[in-house]
Amino acid sequence: MTKIIGLTGGIGSGKTTIANYFHSFGIPLYIADDEARKLMQSIKIVNSIKDAFGESLFENDILIREKLAKIVFDNPEKLQILNAIVHPAVKSHFKNWLLQHQSNSFVLYEAAILFESGSHKNCDFVIAVTAPVDIRIERVMKRDKTTRELILKRMEAQWTDEQRISKSNFVIENISLDKAKQKAEEILKILEKRQ
């Protein structure tokens, strides 16, 4: 049976870079945030978001993600409302995706809020990607052209590295990409032995 490897890490930890490195070894990769973004364009979810947050977040029926982010990261209750709309759709989408990859020994499920969403319960193993907060902030500021304040708000909405580490089977510290890749290869060898 296909084993699900959950891969998670806080914003700016470099989890997608590490996930793509695992993918380069032929492991199918499901990036929950990317799929959620696509699913949020479906009529059903657009209507649910309009009902919950109002029409002002849309221009020509296209969601203005920055406006939504500002609302939900300023208010934990609103973030819960959004998650209740999006997570079930992602869960269902992943189930269908998984059926298409049943011949693989492993698949990788990458999600920023793997634990917060409860998705870790469906994983056979979990890998946490970590990096010091300052490095993470610097990476996100460069990548998203955003402010330190907004990044810190998003970090506050996520678990800490310590919380993730305590519930993970493996940890990859991603300060030096070469060392992080080396650790990923070591983990892959361990997982292959456990098949």
What's the rounded Cα separation, in Å, for the pair 71 and 155? 15
The residue among 113, 111, 109, 120 whose CA lies nearest residue 154 is 113
For residue 127, which of 12, 28, 19 has the smallest C-alpha distance?
19
Provide CB contacts within 8 A for 138, sequence distance 6+: 12
Is 160 labelled a binding residue? no
Q: Is 147 annotated as a binding residue?
A: no
17 annotated among ligand-binding-site residues: yes
Does 12 show up as a binding residue in the annotation? yes
Annotated binding-site residue? 16:
yes
> Distance between CA 128 and CA 180 in Å, rounded?
11
- Ligand-binding annotation for 14, yes or no, is yes
Burial 23-51 (b: 16+ CB within 10 A, else e): beeebbbbbbeebbeebbeeeebbebbee
Annotated binding site for ATP: 12-17
Annotated binding site: 12-17
